[in-house]
Amino acid sequence: MNILLLGKDGQVGRELQRTLLPLGRLTALGRKGADLGDLAHLQNLLQTHHPGIIVNAAAYTAVDRAETDADTAYRINAEAVQVLADHAWRSGALLVHYSTDYVFDGTKAQPYLETDETRPQNVYGRSKLAGEAAILESRCAALVLRTSWVFSSQGNNFVKTMLRLARERDGLSIVDDQTGAPTSAELIADVTALAIAAWRKEIIASGLYHLTAAGSTTWYGLARHVLQRAQDNGAKLRTGPDGLRPIGTAEYPLPAPRPKNSCLDTSKLSTALGLQLPDWTAHANRAVDQLTGGDSR
């Protein structure tokens, strides 16, 4: 079985290079080998490789930049995904794709279900929702995995930003009224491989699934946890956990509005696969330890 991984150099893509290996003959391409902005090239590439499984970890993820660069965000997050879905439908391939908590408006008091109404508040979220729709409406075999607040010891993410800023600055103000589940790229890639194996055995069906770590916190809570762990590991910080100031969203204005509640209910996927998704702190500790030389416990 040929597996084609797109976006191999992103946070999730890097981890998928490891977890997809036992599932088949893997071809992993980054932006150089497969530019999702070039739809004609993408089409040719799919015809050449004829993969049995396409895993798309590439995306336009710059949430604030998307507000003024909507054309590019839609080309990568929706039009390229339409090309993948059309190919999967015609060839019978399985398409595995990722989406986001930002498809919701964040006003629900409880974690969001797959069946809840979507209402994205920013361009990134709307472009990702259009990508989901392209897949689900194509009726190709697909696993669309919505996740949230992705971090890893590699790439660009909030955990690494906090460690950098805490080394550079005296005191940091962090938003404390947006709640979500920080999810490691490692966990996403591990569960993706399990889901593909289960799909092949017809244990799980095509469709939309929420995939995040268990538990939840705010960005402030995440930053505190990260800086506490880093300090315990002996990292030299100018701002420790007690130097963080919790603020409201209004005090940290950004171009793109973010949902207040980003929590996703993961019972559909965890029940189907028989998994107990770990608390977000387990992988957060691992990432901080990798970045600050501590022991993972």
Site string for ligand NDP, 39-68 (x = CB under 6 A): ------------------xxxxx-------
Nearby residues of 196 by Cβ (< 8 Å), 6 or more positions away = 20, 23, 53, 55, 94, 96, 143
**Cβ–Cβ contacts within 10 Å for residue 62, how many?**
14
- Please tell me which residue in 60, 74, 112, 124 is annotated as part of the active site: 124
- List, in order, residues 6 or more apart from 135 with CB less than 8 Å away: 81, 84, 85, 95, 97, 142, 144
Residues 157-186 that bind ligand NDP (CB under 6 A): 185
What does the block give as tokens for 41? 């090239």
Chain position whose Cβ is nearest to ligand NDP: 10
CB of 164 to ligand NDP, least distance (A): 16
Kindly tell me which of 235 and 258 has the beta carbon lying closer to ligand NDP. 258
Instruction: Decide: is 111 part of the binding site for ligand NDP (CB under 6 A).
Output: no
Report whether 279 contacts 122 (CB < 8 A). no
Residue 117 tokens read as: 């109404």
Given a contact cutoff of 8 angstroms between Cβ atoms, the answer to whether 191 and 269 are in contact is yes
Of the candidates 3, 175, 187, 235, which one interacts with ligand TDO according to CB under 6 A? 175
Residue 254 CB, nearest approach to ligand NDP (Å): 15
Q: Report what 257 binds from ligand NDP, ligand TDO, none; CB cut-off 5-8 Å by kind.
A: none
Nearer of residues 63 and 208 to ligand TDO, judged by Cβ: 63
Which does residue 172 bind out of ligand NDP, ligand TDO, none, counting CB within 5 to 8 angstroms by kind? ligand TDO
- Residue ranges of alpha helices (H) inside the chain are 11-19, 39-49, 63-66, 70-74, 80-91, 123-138, 158-168, 185-200, 219-232, 267-273, 280-292
- Nearest Cα to 209, choosing from 217, 219, 198? 198
Closer residue to ligand TDO in complex, CB, 61/292: 61
Q: Which does 178 bind (CB under 5 to 8 A by kind): ligand TDO, ligand NDP, none?
A: ligand TDO
Active site residues per annotation: 124
